[in-house]
Amino acid sequence: MDREIVKNEIQLLDNECCIVFDFGCYFPYSNFGVLTFAFSLGIKEFDDYKINHRYPNKKYQTISKKYGRKVSKIGYPYIMKLYEQSPMLLCLKVGINKQYITMIFPLQTNLTKEKPICELSLRYNFDKSEFDFMSRRNIWTNHEIKIERNGCNNVLLSTPQMVGDDSCTLIYENIIEPCPEVFSGFLL
């Protein structure tokens, strides 16, 4: 995360913390308007975001929070109270129009007053249905990583449980736990 951009975008009160969702879907097709790419936290669905191209590789569709007419440059910052941190369910929808899969991941944050911000990045390859969640030195993935990244803790997620007859909902049991980061100057 670019610290200056984060500092300009995120203003936290003394009792607040933030997880920045930096989600990108590799979708190399010109009809990107048919892509369903959305996320929610449990039953809390978000409608204040847009799908755009924040990355230099324009084949990635990214989720960015809207602030009125302005759009986030870092993804989707989600601000919560420090004491509200409890296990959450991160729900990710990916597909074409109304034909999509829903993937559900347990998510736990451990943010503190000294480390109030964390980032969780997602790179989803639409054609291969492969993804990597990343947070500093941790990677959670659903495929074998061919290139080892030095110093990274790579976790191959267990096979998900399929829910329902249509098998369009996948529940993963591994807990994704983004690493808190030290950022100074973010508290109001």
Note whether 157 and 90 are within 8 A (CB): no
Alpha helices in the chain (DSSP H): 3-9
Mean of all residue pLDDT scores within the chain: 90
pTM (predicted TM-score): 0.92
d(CA 72, CA 57): 18
Domain spans, the chain: 3-181
d(CA 24, CA 89): 19
Mean pLDDT for 97-104 is 94
pLDDT of residue 188: 40
Q: Look at residue 104 and tell me whether its pLDDT is greater than 50.
A: yes
pLDDT of residue 185: 52
pLDDT interval class at 55 (50, 70, 90) = very high
> Cβ–Cβ contacts within 10 Å for residue 83, how many?
8
Render pLDDT for 114-133 as a digit per residue (tens, 0 to 9).
999 999 999 999 999 999 99
